[in-house]
Amino acid sequence: MSDEVIDGMAARAAVRGWVWAPTFWGLVEARASATPDAVAAHEDTGRELTFARYRDACLRAAAGLHTEWGVDRDTAVSWELPTWNESLVLVGALARLGARQNPLIPIYRGREVEFITEQSSASLLVVPTVYRDFDFEAMARAVAAGRTDLGVLVVDRDLPEGDPTVLPAADPAPATAADAPVRWLFYTSGTTADPKGAPHTDLTVAASALAMAECLDIREDDVSALVFPFTHIGGIGWLIASLLTGCTLLTTEAFDAQATPAFLAANGVTLAGSGTPFHLAYLAAQRARGDGPLFPRVRAYPGGGAPKPPQLHHDLKAEIGGVGIVSGYGLTEAPIVVMATTHDPDGKLADTEGRPTPGVDLVVVTLDGRRAGPGEEGEIRLKGPQVIGGYLDPSLDAEAFDGNGYFRTGDLGVVDAEGYVTITGRLKDVIIRHGENISAKEIEDLLYAHPAVADVAVIGLPDPRTGERACAVVALTDGHSFDLAAMAAYLTERRLRRQAIPEQLEVVGAVPRNPAGKILKHELRGRFAPPGSAPTVEGAP
């Protein structure tokens, strides 16, 4: 029996002349066969992988992981690596084995990694030794010390290798989307103190990648900037987009506002992503350069993950070239559910996130439970081929899905008469800094335990560089003092990742609450927001 979802995705890829397979490993083999000598990935170190070399490296690594570490079908593997060629190879190797892989963004530290590896039943944790002055190996061994079922594999630019002839058979293609096994587990901080596990199949992630590739009209000769952490679901999405289309990915271990734009320029970038902080850096580099476009081949600036100032779209288009910012909206649980296209009019590119992607059923529900009309604000709710069926922890599902099966994003938005979506705010108490979701509750729960803190609220404030910054507003216990340095040291001791530590601390006599005890965060935002700042909005991870 044919499957509507799989057949539809295959037909859409065929129209564009792209390769297609309903599994990640099938895409690796299809692309290596179609364009074996084309460059898949080019690091800022100069190291390259062609699609054929990528396939072969994945097979060798799969054999090494299988024979040395016992990784097999459905083995749960957590890995936290920088954006290296080896990280791309690890993804392919685990896909070849049919493992359930859990990429962890490199800002996660002991608290999160311990929780995630335990909840996901990981039997292997893959980390570097030291990266960006943090000892990942020591952290991983501390996490594994209390467990007998978690191994630690330390990888520094090398992976275990073996003879591919020992490998078991690859997973067969699923007959239907419902038959596709969970092969990915991504975590999002969301609004809870503990991260939430979002299970995905190869097909759900591929659905988002296919939609993105269509919206950007990606071609084999495109060169795309993958300059955010690869372990994001968006990083895996870009790898799949490369396999589908044959485009080249330009990668960097860590984004640098001076070196990275120069690297992209030297290698003919055509798709200069992937969000407001990066776009601001490109604009600054162009202005420092003076005459001549920094990116003479650029077609578009893929965007998402942070608020998008409309003026930035116009500035990039006018000063560097291309159609401007082509942004999208989504979540870890539902990536690329809305996206603009390279053919959209200027006003829509600047002021909206585009329209729902193929197969997505997006509705807006007012706060009183009605379906909103065109231009009417409400909560965005979703169904679609890239939306998870439920969380790893099923106790979270009742709140996450409404009675009609729509995923509740917690984001507020409007849909205009032409179907374009604008995000206007959010119900979820999440701060988005440099595209990273930071849970206010997680920080609040930690600060409440400090003896100097009588009450606390953590809020997001507009920041022109990062999109938002975290601000801790505290009321002090009598006789105590508390300052920014003490707060940072305290949160660091409790293994909170550095990027989640608030950049601002405000001491107040009392944290305002309503009669039911709910903190009035809108009052605090109004009090401490920079003068003249616009209300913050949520973009796409």
Looking at this protein, which amino acid is placed at residue 250? L
Contact in structure between 126 and 90 (CB atoms under 8 Å): yes
In this predicted structure, what is the pLDDT of residue 514? 56
Q: What share of the chain is helix, strand, coil (3-state, %, to 5)?
A: 35, 25, 40
Residue 21, domain CATH: 3.40.50.980
Strand partners, 408: 381
Within this chain, do residues 107 and 156 fall inside the same structural domain, yes or no?
A: yes
Enter the tokens of residue 213.
Answer: 């590739």
CATH number (domain holding residue 277): 3.40.50.12780
Residue segments in the chain with a per-residue pLDDT below the cut of 50: 1, 190-192, 515-516, 534-541
Q: Within this chain, do residues 377 and 465 fall inside the same structural domain, yes or no?
A: no
How far is residue 478 CA from its own chain's centroid? 42
Q: Which of 502, 496, 445, 421 is nearest to 468 (CA)?
A: 502
Among candidate residues 394, 426, 458, the one where a domain is terminated: 426
**Distance between CA atoms of 465 and 274, rounded to whole angstroms?**
14
Residues 491 and 349 in one domain: no
pTM: 0.84
Shared domain check, 406 and 268 = yes
Domain boundary among 384, 405, 426: 426
- What are the tokens at 221? 């000769």
In a domain, 221, yes or no: no
**Which among 426, 451, 484 is the end of a domain?**
426
Q: Which domain holds residue 56?
A: 4-164+181-208
Answer yes or no: do 324 and 419 share one domain.
Answer: yes
In a domain? residue 22: yes
Q: Are residues 69 and 157 in the same domain?
A: yes
DSSP labels for 275-298? Answer: -HHHHHHHHHHHHHH-SS-SSTT-
478 and 340 inside one domain = no
Q: What is the pLDDT of residue 373?
A: 95
SS (H, E, C) 369-414: CCECCCCCCEEEEEECCCCCCCCCCHHHHHHHECCCCCEEEEEEEE
Q: Is 132 left (phi over 0), alpha (psi -120 to 50) or beta?
A: left
Query: Checking DSSP bridges between strand 325-331 and strand 301-303, what pairing results, if any?
Result: parallel
Say yes or no: 393 and 441 in one domain.
Answer: no
Structurally, how many domains does the chain consist of?
3
> DSSP state, 157?
S
